[in-house]
Amino acid sequence: MSPRKQPILELDPATVRRARALARKAGKPVVDVARTHTTVSVERATLRLAGLAGADHENVPWVNHLVDAVRDSAGLEHGVALPVWDALRRGEAPDLLTLAQKASSGAVTFHVPDGVRAKAAGKAARTAVAHGIRRIDRQRTTRDRLIARHGNPDHTPWIYLIVATGDIYEDIPQAQEAAREGADIIAVIRSTGQSLLDFVPEGATREGFAGTYATQENFRLMRAALDASSKEVGRYVRLTNYASGLCMPEIATLAGLERLDMMLNDSMYGILFRDINPIRTFVDQRFSRQIHARAGIIINTGEDNYLTTADAIEAAHTVTVSQLLNEYFAKEAGLADWQLGLGHAFEIDPTVKDSLRLELAHALLARQLFPDAPLKWMPPTKHMTGDIFRGYLLDGFFNLVGAMTGQGILLVGMMTEAVVTPWLSDRDLALQNVRYVMRAAGGLTEDFHPPRDGFIQTRARQVLTEAVDLLDAIVHDTGHGEPPLLAAIADGTFGAMKRPASKGKGLDGVFRRADGYVNPAIDLLDSGETR
């Protein structure tokens, strides 16, 4: 990707620096919370890195059985590593799978060891988990080799297309055909409601609701199919899935193990739109982003969702605030600029006067604030009416703004949005729209320079100023007795959703770390070591 190098909006550098400083100040107390807590999903992800996979006859994963057994008998405040590998060293079972099977029937009692036993258990756990970390490293090396062999797309933005049949074996041919027709990124959208499952389904799945379940086997099958497509079309075709929800750390881990290239991973999406507990989300998010950083995965954030529940003009500054917070949380977890697919969207009501000029201002503001990030630009959805001709025109406007403002990742808009799940013919027409606009106007990034103090520049400065004012208000609101950002989320600052830190799904799976907490996955990710 080649983001714009020369600024075309005359933003005040001091205001930009203040915006980032305030985002750091708002975000750091939340990171401190994440560093002092763990969750059931973080602990399950650790066991997955150590090689524990599979499920019982009722499709309950063995990692769930083992973590639940440790929680019931020893608690999770010290993590699962010490109790589990102490049990293995005591001869309770010859391996993790057998231990999980025995634990599921109550045949194992776990303890938190101390002294020499704790040291030995910790060393054994680190050795086991390091195998998973090294597999992720090998997958990243494989991606680099395949990109060197097949090449990246010779254009920007990269074209991102969604496949969503519910059946992985139907998704595969649709994804391969989309690659032939010009898609650079295939997103296998996740089955509705999976984000609220506190387990990861097992195996290849053939039934889903408005999407396909995210499972390790589905990841493996689609990655293999797109590797074949990459060879066929002569460019590396990237694969995307979703790491949000109650199993964010586990899905991120499985994505790293199976070489996915992008993952939906937003700092607040699960909180605001799925009512997942804020602390659970921020703890899980930090671990998952560390995995993404290690795996070389590009994250896609979800600021576009705010504009489905709030007005895209009035709430434009909340998108900028969220982008700045997502940037801070991502970099703190180790992600580089090239991995930050920060989100924004084309969601202004088209009946509003100057709507296209406003969209240009918002898109340029994002592009200039994050010049080295592959911004993910989302198409119109909220104001699609079922009039497919009007919708096709709106998608053309969206593509044009993407071309003019140098976006990095462009999600293909569908004229049948709000009518039906798109057919292959719908996707073909949508890709034709993108191809036409990019061929005809892709070079406009070189020519488009809005005039000084004109409508677009003035609107961009206004949104940035409002974003700074909001961040300043968040940081200085200290009357709640909790991190100010958590208080702002509770007050409905983002997406008009009120989500207090003391409520929400998954709260019972959050634990404050005790002194002596051990998690070899976090140690390896923090240090960058391989063993």
Tokens of 249: 């750390």
- Ordered alpha helix ranges (H), 316-423: 316-332, 355-369, 388-405
The pLDDT value recorded for residue 5 is 52
Token pair, residue 270, equals 């699960």
Same domain for 56 and 197, yes or no, is no
Q: What amino acid is encoded at 182 in this protein?
A: G
- One-letter amino acid for residue 395 of the chain: D
User: Can you tell me the distance from the alpha carbon of 248 to that of 260, in angstroms, rounded to the nearest whole number?
Assistant: 14
Alpha-carbon distance of 270 to 249, in angstroms, equals: 13
C-beta separation of 18 from 25 below 8 A: no
Same-domain pairing of 248 and 365: yes
Query: Do residues 214 and 360 both lie within one domain?
Result: yes
Angle at the Cα of 184 from the Cα atoms of 181 and 185, rounded to 5 degrees: 120
- The CATH number of the domain where 403 resides is what? 3.20.20.440
Q: Which two tokens stand for residue 139?
A: 């997958």
The residue from 385, 417, 447 where one domain ends is 447
Half-sphere exposure of 323 (CA within 13 A, CB side): 34
Whole-number Å distance between alpha carbons of 237 and 231: 9
Establish if 494 belongs to a structural domain: no
Please tell me the predicted confidence (pLDDT) of residue 1.
59
Contact 132, 519 (CB under 8 A): no
Number of domains making up the chain = 2
521 located within any domain? no
Take residue 463 and report the two structure tokens written for it.
């949104």
Tens of pLDDT, residue by residue, the chain (531 residues)? 555 455 589 999 999 999 999 999 999 999 999 999 999 999 999 999 999 999 999 999 999 999 999 999 999 999 999 999 999 999 999 999 999 999 999 999 999 999 999 999 999 999 999 999 999 999 999 999 999 999 999 888 999 999 989 999 999 999 999 999 999 999 999 999 999 999 999 999 999 988 999 999 999 999 999 999 999 999 999 999 999 899 999 999 999 999 999 999 998 989 999 999 999 999 999 999 999 999 999 999 988 888 888 899 999 999 999 999 999 999 999 999 999 999 999 999 999 999 999 999 999 999 999 999 999 999 999 999 989 999 999 999 999 999 999 999 999 999 988 777 788 788 899 999 999 999 999 998 889 999 999 999 999 999 999 999 999 999 998 767 789 999 999 998 887 789 999 999 999 999 999 999 999 999 999 999 999
Range of the domain at 362: 151-447
Q: Which of 390, 412, 447 is the last residue of a domain?
A: 447
Transcribe 109-122 into DSSP letters. Answer: ------HHHHHHHH
Residue 379 lies in a domain: yes
Q: What is the CA 522 to chain-centroid distance, rounded?
A: 19
Residue 309 domain-assigned (yes or no): yes
Buried b (16+ CB within 10 A) or exposed e, 230-263: beebebbbbbbbbbbbbbbbbbbbbbbbbbbbbb
Assigned domain for 72 exists = yes
Residues 192 and 72 in one domain: no
Q: Are 119 and 162 found together in one domain?
A: no
**Of 252, 257, 228, the residue nearest 136 (C-alpha):** 257
Is the residue at 13 inside a domain? no
Q: Are residues 209 and 283 in the same domain?
A: yes
- Spatial distance between the Cα atoms of 16 and 13, rounded to a whole number of angstroms: 5
Same domain, 124 and 183: no
Q: What is the distance between the alpha carbons of residues 437 and 118, in angstroms, rounded to a whole number?
A: 62
The two three-digit tokens of residue 74, written as one number: 């020893």
Residue at 407 is within a domain: yes
**Is residue 280 a contact partner of residue 246, using CB atoms and an 8 Å limit?**
yes
Same domain, 177 and 73: no
Nearest to 121 by CA among 98, 145, 87, 96: 87
Nearest CA to 203 out of 215, 187, 188, 190 is that of 215
Q: Which of 414, 422, 421, 359 is nearest to 392 (CA)?
A: 414
Enumerate the active-site residues. 269, 304, 376
Q: Which of 445, 484, 506 is nearest to 5 (CA)?
A: 445
Residue where a domain stops, chosen among 401, 423, 447: 447
Intra-chain end-to-end CA distance of the chain, in Å: 33
Q: 186 and 110: one domain?
A: no
Any domain includes 16: no
Same-domain status, 109 and 238: no
Q: What is the DSSP string of 191-227?
A: PTTGGG-SS---S-----SSSB---HHHHHHHHHHHH
The Cβ of residue 423 has, within 10 Å, a number of other Cβ atoms equal to 12
My answer on whether 161 and 78 are in the same domain is no
> How far is 92 from 99, CA to CA, in rounded Å?
7
> What does the block give as tokens for 286?
């930090």
Task: Report the pLDDT value the prediction gives residue 95, as an integer from 0 to 100.
Answer: 97
Residues 185 and 289 in one domain: yes
* Strand partners of residue 240: 187, 262
Nearest alpha-carbon partner for 491 in 483, 177, 356: 483
